[in-house]
A = this chain, B = another copy of it.
Amino acid sequence: MEAKEIDRKMIRPSIPSGSRDFSSEEVYKRQYIFRIIKGVFEKYGYQPIETPVMENLETLEGKYGEEGDRLLFRILNSGDFKKDISASEFAESTAHQLIPKVAAKGLRYDLTIPFARYVVMHQNEINFPFKRYQIQPVFRADRPQRGRYREFYQCDADVIGSDSLVNEMELVRIFDEVFSILGITVTIKLNNRKILSGMAASINASNKFSDITVAIDKLDKIGLQGVRQQLTKNGLSESQIQILEKFFSLTGEAKQMLNEAKLLLIDSETGLKGIAEVEKIIELLDISGTTKAAVEVNFTLARGLDYYTGAIMEVKPNEIKMGSIGGGGRYDDLTGVFGLKGVSGVGISFGADRIYDVMEELKLFPATTQTGIKILFTHFNEASLNYSLPLLQQVRVEEIPAEIYPSSEKIKKQLKYADDKRIPFVVLAGEDEMRTGKLTLKNMQSGEQQSLSIEEIIQKLK
């Protein structure tokens, strides 16, 4: 049995389902996306923080609903994890009841709760409004499927301690600028939680607010009839559904839509406040300058997240059918749960994995994402190795990435190495070259060979 297990290990090492290895090419492409997002965040005055992968479970639990608690990865306590559990307690308790006795830490589930925790812990060192960004992996014990991983990166920017709508406007601009640089044509959708509340209130169904938003959020997926059916199932009357339908069938030019919605929300102070906020964001956008992305108002946008209290935003690519590749919104009192009350925040998040897929599918990655090694020195024997080593250093001094094949293998094998690694130039230093000081430089793409001094080669590569 022992031996068999070792054999099995020997044959197939593997990684946990829902997790991934990234090859160099993938790392370079992912870094390209992160670098652009990071660059724009910083251009807009956001600064990075980092939090640990492990958080105390008391920080994480109860923050993501029952479903979220179920999806937390928990760390088994080190040492004798069963020491606090008696045999009878074990027999009589559910796994859920025993969790607090065997695990005190969990893996970061998102970047928002750790950020809230950070703000409260460091409130005396922080200057408000606090504009931070964070690009780190998060972990969810979700069922893995195409495009859904158990370990994936989030890229968040949030500002906390300011309720000015200038923030929302700037976050829309960040979406606009990032996707414009990446070359993805997008539509940025705007809504406001207060409008959704107003809609529920206007049909006297505030108690069914959650059901309503869940249903209409699915309009894209299940269509009008699907939404109608679900609302009926939720106990809404035909006349209530008809009024709702008026809202979510409003489309087209933002100002027009907002004016029409105002009439429908005339009796809801909250709803009208939501309209005014969306109007203000659009006005600020207009003042600030044109956007490349289409900015649309969409009254069905809810993003299923309970904690949004104001603006709701979502970004979808235009040229490809895919879920949102960015989203965000305003949340009041996020830090309240950690004891810091009355601090309003607004933030956005980029879906790096989906953005990667879009870029691959639309072939948007530039050929130069890879930090290329520019030149490989080959050698035939020890003499040509020794001759090449100082030349290699001369190239590197000029900040040109360069390497030497480590042993005197057949030249064919060394050239194959360059080919596989997509190194564009190869230096051959045989006896003639060593005598004359003129090296043979082979262009690996064209096959062309030139006889050049090391200075000339450096000049050519720079």
Contacts and interface: CB of A to CB of B under 8 A. Distances in A.
B76 A393 contact: no
A338 B406 CA distance: 25
A293 B131 CA distance: 41
Interface string A149-179: 0110000000100111011001001000000
A404 to B, nearest CB: 7
Contact of A52 (B13, B15, B393): B15
A220 B23 CA distance: 41
Taken together, the copies of this chain in the complex come to 2
A51 B19 CA distance: 9
Nearest to A94: B80
Contacts of A141: 78
A184 B58 CA distance: 42
A56 interface: yes
A207 to B, nearest CB: 26
A102 B120 CA distance: 34
Interface string A365-387: 00000010100100000000110
Q: How large is the interface on A (under 10, 10 to 19, 20 to 34, 35 or more residues)?
A: 35 or more
Contacts of A137: 53
A420 B126 CA distance: 9
A121 to B, nearest CB: 6
B121 A21 contact: yes
Interface string A327-347: 000000000011100000000
Given A52-B19, A87-B87, A13 B121 contact: yes
B121 A52 contact: no
Interface string A101-124: 011110100000000011011100
Interface stretch (A186-194, A233-241, A250-258, A281-289): A281-289
Contacts of A392: 288
Interface in A197-234: none
Contacts of A71: 78
Contacts of A59: 13-15
Interface string A398-440: 0111111011000000001100110000000000000000000
A12 to B, nearest CB: 8
Given A16-B55, A52-B151, 14 more contacts: A13-B117, A13-B121, A15-B52, A16-B104, A27-B47, A44-B403, A45-B403, A54-B151, A81-B95, A83-B95, A87-B87, A127-B420, A129-B406, A288-B393
**A-B complex: 8 closest residue pairs judged by Cβ atoms:** A45-B403, A10-B339, A19-B52, A164-B406, A24-B47, A127-B420, A164-B407, A87-B91
28 contacts: A10-B337, A13-B120, A14-B59, A19-B54, A22-B49, A24-B47, A24-B48, A24-B49, A27-B47, A31-B48, A42-B401, A43-B402, A45-B376, A45-B401, A45-B421, A52-B151, A53-B139, A54-B73, A71-B78, A74-B75, A75-B75, A76-B76, A78-B141, A81-B98, A83-B95, A129-B417, A166-B407, A288-B393
Interface of A: 5, 9-11, 13-16, 19-24, 26-28, 31, 42-45, 47-56, 58-59, 70-71, 73-76, 78-83, 85, 87, 90-91, 94-95, 98-99, 102-105, 107, 117-118, 120-122, 125, 127, 129, 131-132, 137, 139, 141, 150-151, 159, 162-164, 166-167, 170, 173, 284, 287-289, 337-339, 371, 373, 376, 385-386, 389-390, 392-393, 396, 399-404, 406-407, 416-417, 420-421
